[in-house]
Homo-oligomer: A and B are copies of this chain.
Amino acid sequence: MSKPVIVPVIMSGGAGTRLWPLSRPEKPKQMHKLFGDMTLLQQTAARVPADCGFTAPIVICATSQCEDVRQQLSTIGIEPVTIIGEPVPRNTAPCADIAARAVADLFGPEALVLLLASDHFIADPIGFRAAIHQAAPVCQQGHIITFGPKPVRPETGYGYLLAGARIADGICKLDKFVEKPDLKTAERYLEDGNYLWNSGMFLFPAELMLGEITKYRPEIAKACQQAYKNSVIKDAEMLLDADSFSTGVAESIDNAVMENTDIGAVIALDVGWSDVGSWQAIYELSQKDFNKNACSGQTIAVDSENCLIRSDGIRIAAAGVQDLAIIANGNDVLIMPLKQAQKVRELVEQLDN
């Protein structure tokens, strides 16, 4: 079998609220420098470089974000194959369809799509690339590969994948998708060993995925086909046709295809993966000082421990506090216990009212 072409397609459409007040619709999480000198989007693109067996990336993002995306990639010397603008957010199933369509169009139907979230963290990129290249030949044989980080704690914030019969070295049939479990169930999964986290990253032959979407969600396939066909090229970006794309339902690729397909497979990852889905996660991934505080920006902490303190402007002075997230961004400052980081959503809902 010939060495496959692997095209990274970065989904940068999220506008999550879990990292409010940093993450906002006009500048979502992936556009921020959360660790080190690169934004999460830049880190994602830099993780699959041209000299490691990948083409330049395609990015799919909100139309309003295209310019920022191009600018961020340009800063680190990456010129994307194209940037595809979504007129409205429609979750990951239409995104996977468009990704497959564009890759088939530009690189041929056999080319592999490496569908990546733009806002994850991976401590060991070499290990991650090794897994991709290990999975590629299996993928070419007609599988949609999911990447399943091995659980290292009974996490209730992630969905899980159940690995089934062995297909190839390190790769198993995908038996089941499981929604976010309660703590007891998560502990059982951790114990079991066959359950992996659902990272939301995939590897698949372009045409194969188009077939599966057409099979299980013909209305999504049709809407995407029209949106792609009627797209316009503007300033080197491909803008999907708003009318057609909007008619498609919003659904995750997990629900639309992976829960139905017979050709799903999974490869376990042990690469220090995180979806960076909460301030707690960011605290855990950040460098800490002697008092286990992770501070950035204009901050001062006295008699304080285990805090994440970040400011993009205003000076934060903390004294005698523990285990807090204190995040100033723009005209907002958030204060909450790191352990209750899921409360951000509730808070943001109240703010909008």
Query: Does residue A320 face the partner (Cβ distance < 8 Å to B)?
Result: yes
User: Within the complex, which residue of B21, B302, B332, B347 is in contact with A350, where a contact is CB–CB below 8 Å?
Assistant: B302
> What's the nearest-Cβ distance from chain B to residue A312, in Å?
12
Check if A336 sits within 8 Å of B320, measured CB to CB: yes
Interface stretch (choices A31-39, A101-109, A144-152, A321-329): A321-329
> What's the nearest-Cβ distance from chain B to residue A313, in Å?
8
Q: Which of A107-135 contact B (CB under 8 A)?
A: none
Query: Does residue A331 face the partner (Cβ distance < 8 Å to B)?
Result: yes
Interface stretch (choices A70-78, A204-212, A232-240, A338-346): A338-346
> What's the nearest-Cβ distance from chain B to residue A350, in Å?
6
Query: Does residue A183 face the partner (Cβ distance < 8 Å to B)?
Result: no
Residues of B within 8 A of A300 (CB): 347, 350-351
Query: Does residue A50 face the partner (Cβ distance < 8 Å to B)?
Result: no
Closest Cβ neighbor of A302 among chain B residues: B347
Residues of B within 8 A of A302 (CB): 343, 346-347, 350
CA distance A334 to B324 in the complex (A): 13
Query: Does residue A215 face the partner (Cβ distance < 8 Å to B)?
Result: no
Check if A347 sits within 8 Å of B332, measured CB to CB: no
CA distance A122 to B21 in the complex (A): 40
User: Within the complex, which residue of B314, B317, B320, B334 is in contact with A317, where a contact is CB–CB below 8 Å?
Assistant: B334
Check if A315 sits within 8 Å of B343, measured CB to CB: no
Residue among A302, A318, A335, A343 with the most chain B CB within 10 A? A335
Residue among A320, A334, A336, A346 with the most chain B CB within 10 A? A320
Residues of B within 8 A of A313 (CB): 331
User: Within the complex, which residue of B316, B317, B319, B340 is in contact with A340, where a contact is CB–CB below 8 Å?
Assistant: B319
Residues of B within 8 A of A328 (CB): 314, 333
A sample of 29 inter-chain contacts (CB < 8 A) reads A21-B317, A300-B347, A300-B350, A302-B350, A303-B340, A303-B343, A314-B314, A314-B328, A314-B331, A314-B332, A315-B331, A315-B332, A315-B333, A316-B333, A317-B347, A317-B351, A318-B335, A318-B336, A319-B335, A319-B336, A319-B340, A319-B343, A319-B344, A320-B337, A320-B340, A321-B324, A321-B336, A326-B335, A328-B333
Check if A347 sits within 8 Å of B319, measured CB to CB: yes
Closest Cβ neighbor of A298 among chain B residues: B331
Check if A317 sits within 8 Å of B331, measured CB to CB: no
> What's the nearest-Cβ distance from chain B to residue A45, in Å?
32
> What's the nearest-Cβ distance from chain B to residue A353, in Å?
10
Residues of B within 8 A of A344 (CB): 319
Residues of B within 8 A of A315 (CB): 331-333, 351
